[in-house]
Amino acid sequence: MKIDKAAIAGTLESSDCMVTVEPGSGSVELELESVVMNQFGEQIQEVVRETLERLDVKDVFIRIVDKGALDCTIKARVECAVYRSAGQTTNVPWGGAVR
């Protein structure tokens, strides 16, 4: 899936995360800020990269500000931001590509 424009999903509330995606410069570039970085930083990065891979996103700059979100929330926010960026608003296969 191609990232056409900047898009945001999520909030900065506790147990959530804010995901921003923008067109990349030829690769997946991930910037992560998390209140649980020491404990779960690597796990969050793995979940994000896996979700992008399942959505077939290969060229993106993605920034995540995490406030303790669960993996399922991170996946949902990444998926939503990607679909918004691609302009896909109808027949969205929510959760279909992300397992």
Compute the distance between CA of residue 29 and CA of residue 48 in angstroms, rounded to an integer: 11
Residue 93 above 80 pLDDT?
no
Residue 71 above 70 pLDDT?
yes
Q: Which residues contact 44 (CB under 8 A, 6 or more apart)?
A: 32, 34, 64, 66, 74
Query: Would you place residue 98 in the very low, low, confident or very high pLDDT band (cuts 50, 70, 90)?
Result: low
What percentage of the chain exceeds 90 in pLDDT? 85
pLDDT attached to residue 99:
53
Element housing 17 (H / E): strand 17-23
Compute the distance between CA of residue 79 and CA of residue 10 in angstroms, rounded to an integer: 11
pTM for this entry? 0.90
Domains within the chain, CATH numbers bracketed: 7-86 (3.30.230.10)
In the 8-state DSSP scheme, what is residue 13? S
Residue 96 above 70 pLDDT?
no
pLDDT attached to residue 92:
73
Query: Would you place residue 87 in the very low, low, confident or very high pLDDT band (cuts 50, 70, 90)?
Result: confident
Cα 83 → chain centroid: 10
pLDDT attached to residue 34:
96
Residue that the structure tokens 């992008």 belong to: 52
